[in-house]
Chain A
Amino acid sequence: MNDHHGHAPTHHVTPLPVYFAIFFALMILTGITVWISRVDLGVMNFPVAMAVAIVKATLVILFFMHLIHSTRLTWVVVLGSFLWLGVLFVLIFSDYLTRAWVMY
């Protein structure tokens, strides 16, 4: 349906404190990544670093990019594109990770 007709962009204005809070969160998370990389967690180093990066990206997308106040369609676009990226990764790795399997 035409959900768009007849209104000017009366969009949500995010209050300033939110922006600053997110900024500090991002800075702290950056610190955490760096710190984590200095200590040896064995195989866990990499997943942790990625997890932190994902959290940071999520914060940016939700608040700096206003996804949280956006239409459902925008959510679909964002989640959809990560889903597609997931398809690329998962299916390519389905090859690389099973190549060494022995066949009986």
Chain B
Amino acid sequence: MRSDFPLFPEQASTVAPYVDALYLFLVGITGLVSLLIWIAVFYFAIKYRRRPENELAEEIEPPQMLEIAWTVIPAIIFVGIFVAGAWVYFHINRVPDDALDIYATGRQWMWKFQHPSGQREINTLHVPVNRPIRITMASEDVIHSLWFPVFRVKADVLPNRYRTMWFEATKTGRFHIFCAEYCGTQHSGMIGWVEVMEPTAYQRWLAGGAEGSLASQGEKLFQKYACHTCHTNEATGRGPILAGLYGKQIQLTNNSRVLADDNYLRESILNPQAKIAAGFQPIMPTFQGQVNEEELIKLLAYIRSMPAAAPVVAPPTASAGPAATQNKGTVQ
């Protein structure tokens, strides 16, 4: 048996202190109240134990005030707990604007990570310290859940849908990654390590052998799958111009509008018939089954990276819409 074992996880992210503070606050307050209850129970049980002289209990009229007090006071405490919990939750979900993008794909039973510069890795994730990281993720099969205990963050990874989570590591070192949602036989083997590095070390690590950035790999795929035959940079193309599309509001044929976020792009590629951009025919073929999750990520990286500048005649789709909401964390 090991003699050294942790009773508390390391704090290695900016949100961890908040979570721990909330946790300890809860331990304190509920511990206190619980303790009072146990003491009362034992004290009464002993003091008023049945003896010949108290065979018959004393009847006392319950004071109404007392009932109201122990209804209202816990209610106030509980609502306080809610507020604190919601505040921390908000913090956990609100992605900072300058976050570094990393992509994760879950599958039975491994984690695959892709860095914008093109590095791929499996079951290990290298990240720089003191830099907000946003992870965009999807699953190739069942639901998984990406958990970094030392960062106190976790999010379910869903098939066919992108979700994001973020953290900012505050300590260098090597920490656990777990899959927290049951996903089949090797669920407990779907684990890995996150390596938090100094920024310089991270840069060095990145420099080591990638096949070009994600966007440039995506550009190759764009050629390979012949997307460019329809999606040209001219308004006369058969498909909409994709440059500058990301983050815009898109007008659809059925009169509604959608935000062109990751999930929309994903759907447009895998299931183009679902939402048809106004002014176009539903001729785009599906790429379901041809493009896998990782390639999809590359394509998206490429589409996101397309400069918005070139064509002045914006596609009829991308007319209005607020300034790019690109970096605001969308609620997924």
A8 beta carbon closer than 8 Å to chain B = no
Pick from A98, A99, A100, A103: contact of B328, CB below 8 A.
A103
- CA of A104 to CA of B96 in the docked complex: distance in angstroms? 10
Within 8 A of B (CB), among A67-104: 98-104
**Chain B contact residues: over half helix, strand or loop, or mixed?**
loop
| B328 pairs with A101, CB closer than 8 A | no
B36 beta carbon closer than 8 Å to chain A = no
- CA of A103 to CA of B93 in the docked complex: distance in angstroms? 8
Within 8 A of B (CB), among A15-59: none
When distances are taken between beta carbons in the complex, the residues of chain A under 8 Å from B330 are: 100, 102-103
- How many chain-A residues does the 8 Å CB contact rule pick out? 7
Nearest CB in chain B: distance from A99 CB, A: 6
B329 beta carbon closer than 8 Å to chain A = yes
- CA of A99 to CA of B264 in the docked complex: distance in angstroms? 14
Query: What are the interface flags for B294-332 relative to A under an 8 Å C-beta threshold, 1 for contact and 0 otherwise?
Result: 000000000000000000000000000000010011111
B284 beta carbon closer than 8 Å to chain A = no
- How many chain-B residues does the 8 Å CB contact rule pick out? 10
- CA of A102 to CA of B258 in the docked complex: distance in angstroms? 13
- CA of A102 to CA of B322 in the docked complex: distance in angstroms? 12
B110 beta carbon closer than 8 Å to chain A = no
- CA of A103 to CA of B90 in the docked complex: distance in angstroms? 9
- CA of A41 to CA of B331 in the docked complex: distance in angstroms? 33
Pick from A100, A103, A104: contact of B259, CB below 8 A.
A100
B94 beta carbon closer than 8 Å to chain A = yes
The chain A residue sitting closest to B93, CB to CB, is A103
- CA of A101 to CA of B332 in the docked complex: distance in angstroms? 9
- CA of A42 to CA of B325 in the docked complex: distance in angstroms? 30
When distances are taken between beta carbons in the complex, the residues of chain B under 8 Å from A102 are: 259, 325, 328-331
- CA of A11 to CA of B90 in the docked complex: distance in angstroms? 58
- CA of A104 to CA of B93 in the docked complex: distance in angstroms? 10
When distances are taken between beta carbons in the complex, the residues of chain B under 8 Å from A99 are: 331-332
- CA of A97 to CA of B329 in the docked complex: distance in angstroms? 17
The chain A residue sitting closest to B330, CB to CB, is A102
- CA of A103 to CA of B259 in the docked complex: distance in angstroms? 14
| B94 pairs with A103, CB closer than 8 A | yes
- CA of A98 to CA of B94 in the docked complex: distance in angstroms? 16
- CA of A48 to CA of B95 in the docked complex: distance in angstroms? 42
The chain B residue sitting closest to A99, CB to CB, is B331
- CA of A65 to CA of B305 in the docked complex: distance in angstroms? 64
- CA of A100 to CA of B94 in the docked complex: distance in angstroms? 14
When distances are taken between beta carbons in the complex, the residues of chain A under 8 Å from B332 are: 99
When distances are taken between beta carbons in the complex, the residues of chain A under 8 Å from B331 are: 98-103
When distances are taken between beta carbons in the complex, the residues of chain A under 8 Å from B325 are: 102
- CA of A99 to CA of B263 in the docked complex: distance in angstroms? 12
The chain B residue sitting closest to A103, CB to CB, is B331
- CA of A44 to CA of B93 in the docked complex: distance in angstroms? 36
Interface centre among B93, B94, B328, B331 (most CB of A within 10 A): B331
Nearest CB in chain A: distance from B104 CB, A: 20
When distances are taken between beta carbons in the complex, the residues of chain B under 8 Å from A101 are: 331
Q: A101-B331, A103-B328 are in contact. List 13 more A-B contacts (CB 8 A).
A: A99-B331, A100-B331, A102-B259, A102-B329, A102-B330, A102-B331, A103-B90, A103-B93, A103-B94, A103-B329, A103-B330, A104-B94, A104-B328
Interface residues of B (CB under 8 A from A): 90, 93-94, 259, 325, 328-332
Interface residues of A (CB under 8 A from B): 98-104
Q: List 22 A-B contacts (CB under 8 A).
A: A98-B331, A99-B331, A99-B332, A100-B259, A100-B330, A100-B331, A101-B331, A102-B259, A102-B325, A102-B328, A102-B329, A102-B330, A102-B331, A103-B90, A103-B93, A103-B94, A103-B328, A103-B329, A103-B330, A103-B331, A104-B94, A104-B328
For the complex of A and B, 6 pairs with smallest distance between CB atoms: A103-B331, A102-B330, A103-B329, A102-B328, A101-B331, A103-B94
